[in-house]
Structure 1
Amino acid sequence: MTLLHVFPSFGYGGQQSRLAALVRALGSEFRHYVLSLDEDVSARALFDDDAPAEFNTYQMKKSHGLSVTNVLTFRKLISNTNPDVLCTYNWGSIEAVVANRAGARKPHIHFEDGFGPDEISGKRNARRAVARRFALRNSTVVTPSQNLFSIARTDWRLKPDQVLHIRNGVDIERLQVRQESDQMGVTVGSLGALRPEKNYARLIKAFVKADHVKRARLRIAGDGPERSALAKLIGTDPRVSLLGATADPANVYAQFDIFALSSDTEQAPLSLMEAMAAGLPVVATNVGDIAEMVAEENRPYITRVGDNEAFVEALMHLLQNPSARAEIGAANRRHAREEFSLDKMIEAHRDLYLKKANGNA
């Protein structure tokens, strides 16, 4: 069975990591064609060398509205690939959805994992909501968070049987708990794409305030358009480092004592699940499903977006309390084992792919 996956970008991110896990688990049962709509296919490093997947790029024509050139190109690409199922990801792939509706009408699944800086909570783009409502009306839409599930049902007015909530899952056993902290100090860490909505500047500023004794370290793994601005903000501070993108997140989490998310918008971040599975306490902004995802013991450290002082206080408390870090980290790992099953995620996707291809979904 052939699946065509259309991504706005195939740089490192949660969607790309999830697909790599699915491809690895599904094996030769499916063949995957991955199309990146920019020149970035760096996340192919997450895939095994013998994975049944091919990667290509198409540089989309930029426009303020629907590009006829893009739509016609996507129609040809879909026709040439002839997939059993077309899978599209986030708003950036919406022209491929339109092309499919106007052409081959292949069975279609749209995966919506979150919003960019122009569609953060409370500022969602009404024009895009209407466009999604039209483009996705005959599609199955999958969301990893309850928050997005509600948005798809209400803002986009999709029918109840169109929208599925499939929670992300992680390989708990691959994510090992750090045995002891480095004697040189506590390490705060984060992992994700360096994009504006992640607001890593908030994290860097909060860390500098929280580490008033100047013994801790901040490590941010990932790459993206904000890298140069963040490097300028860090300056010569030796405590703060940008690690770059990684194909081995398990090794990165093993270097952290505290995991931090400072985003303006999230839904159900895979990085949070991985950090919890690695036994890390979390400081994060209260966006998407984050407050419901962490263990109950961790919830006091989830702070309101915009309350930067509360974020600093939460981070400071964990920096200064090793017993709290250990207790909360252990609770998060137990919770991750109970709630974020990789096997359930894989079976849900396999079942959906098969049903969709056979006209039963």
Structure 2
Amino acid sequence: MTRIKFKTHGKGQKTDLTALLHIIPSFAFGGQQARLATLIDGLGAEFSHHIVALDGDHSARGLVSENANVAYSSFAMKKSSGISLTNIRGLMGVIKKCKPVIVCTYNWGSIEAVIANRAGPNIPNLHFEDGFGPDEKIDQQSNKRVLGRRFLLRQSMVIVPSHGLERAAREQWKLKNVRRVENGIDLARFDRPRPTGERVNIGSLGSLRPEKNYSRLITAFRALESSFDAQLVIVGEGTERQSLAARIGDTSNIMLPGATSSPADAIATFDLFALSSDTEQAPISLMEAMAAGLPVVSTDVGDIREMVSDENKPYITALGDEHAYHAAMEALIESPALRKTIGLANQQKARSTFSRDQMINRYTEIFSEIVAR
């Protein structure tokens, strides 16, 4: 990794610490937060980090190494249907106080921090767009937000993890400074022995949000559970917990154990990984499952079809084709040999594509480029 020295906290004073301020809607468990934790650990001692959670939730801090140079704080956002001047003034104060070299902002939920930075300190801004919530899809974007991104992010460098988001940023948002950087993970952490029992453990890992559509996964499993010795485990936390729990009822074959600070431990108990989302881009959880040697059944959204091995592609089904989704799950449940073949192909694809070091080196180059300007 390139060694960088930057001028930071005083006139003529230099330090090896590159101070990054991360203003993020939430630091709860999720793919975006897992990538940030991986990035913090991989960048090492030359970088310091301050994570400001706009919802006050720092529950994902357990993903970050205890040795990392990280500070955590919260900012109480004033709820508003539009842009809040109170939020902008407050965030301007946060940025000035932290004195970062680079301000990192995340998704539409931090757009007021982008405005605050431009109106105040005007420090180089690296903006991450990782996908959409339940109210937007890549082909059904809010016109207001399209225009907002087009205008407000034109001076930022925008980072996206998927081909679909790259096209949206260039063609719809009309942004010039867009970089697609593939996510990476610590592959060795997920290389664990597989379960040996007869029961098939179907697992998913992610935030319990509407766009993940875990109801689809539960419906598919329920249609098959009487024919197989199987259980479904959905690892995560979020706003959909209550409705999903009500849908599950008192069955013992479907579990919601909550979020985890060790996704590798959770995935090590799975035989089959399942995604049922209405919208995705390049899911970190999918990379982790592939690195663990798991076959995958999923809806065909975002870059998922391109991410999995050729052997796994027949089990990535068209969004809305519930019959095909059920059939793909059934085929993978009933054949241990098929699961093993596809899992090994996925693991090989993960090792060649989703390297953490490759991602870290790419971001180091980007940080160097931003500051050199």
TM-score (norm 2): 0.94
Q: Could you tell me which of 310, 324, 328 is aligned with 2:324?
A: 310
Letter of the structure 1 residue corresponding to residue 353 of structure 2: E
Contact 2:149/2:173 (8 A) holds in 1: yes
Identify the residue that residue 10 of structure 2 maps to in structure 1.
none
1:117 partner SS: coil
Q: Is residue 92 of structure 2 the alignment partner of residue 78 of structure 1? A: no
Aligned to 1:24: 41
Distance 1:239 1:121 in 2: 34
Alignment partner, residue 320 of structure 1:
334
1:201 corresponds to: 215
Work out the CA distance in 1 between the residues paired with 2:194 and 2:245. 30
Helix, strand or coil at the partner of 2:226: coil
Cα drift, residue 27 of structure 1: 1.5
Aligned counterparts, 1:48-127, within 5 A: 48-127=65-144
Q: Which structure 2 residue ranges, 5 or more long, are not aligned? A: 1-17
Task: Give the match for residue 156 of structure 1.
Answer: 173
Q: What is aligned with 1:296?
A: 310
In the alignment, which of 205, 229, 236 is matched to residue 215 of structure 1?
229
Deviation at 1:177, TM superposition (A): 4.3
Aligned length: 356
| Post-superposition offset of 1:122 | 2.6
Distance (whole Å) between structure 1 residues aligned to residue 318 and residue 232 of structure 2: 21
1:5 aligns with 2:19: no
Name the structure 2 match of 1:169.
Answer: 184
Q: Answer yes or no: is 1:279 the counterpart of 2:296.
A: no
Q: 2-side partners of 1:263 and 1:75: how far apart?
A: 36
Does residue 270 in structure 1 map to residue 284 in structure 2?
Answer: yes
CA contact (8 A) 1:210 1:313 kept: no
**What is the TM-score of this pair, normalised by structure 1?**
0.97
Matched, 1:38 2:55: yes
Moved more, 79-88 or 116-125: 116-125
Paired amino acid for 2:359: M
Distance 2:128 2:194 in 1: 37
Other structure's SS at 1:98 match: helix
Contact 2:194 2:271 in 1 (8 A): no
In 2: Cα distance, 1:112 partner to 1:122 partner: 15
SS of corresponding position for 1:56: strand
1:313 aligned counterpart, secondary structure: helix
Q: Kindly state the Cα deviation for residue 211 of structure 1 after the two structures are TM-superposed.
A: 2.4
> Residue 186 in 1 paired to residue 200 in 2?
yes
Task: Report sequence identity in percent.
Answer: 50
Q: RMSD of the alignment, in Å? A: 1.0
- Distance in 1, matches of 2:57 and 2:317, equals 33
- Whichever residue aligns with residue 239 of structure 1, its letter is N
The 5 A counterparts of 1:124-135 are: 124-135=141-152
* Partners of 2:267 and 2:289 within 8 A in 1: yes
1:254 matches 2:271: no
For residue 158 of structure 2, give the secondary structure of its aligned residue in structure 1.
strand
Q: Is the counterpart of residue 358 in structure 1 residue 356 in structure 2?
A: no
Q: Distance in 2 between matches of 1:147 and 1:64?
A: 28
The residue type equivalent to 1:315 in the other structure is: M
Given that 2:95 and 2:117 are in contact with CA atoms closer than 8 Å, whether structure 1 keeps it comes out as yes
State the alpha-carbon separation in 2 of the partners of residues 14 and 123 from structure 1: 22
Residue ranges of structure 1 left out of the alignment (5+ in a row):
none
Contact 1:144 1:267 (8 Å CA) reproduced:
yes
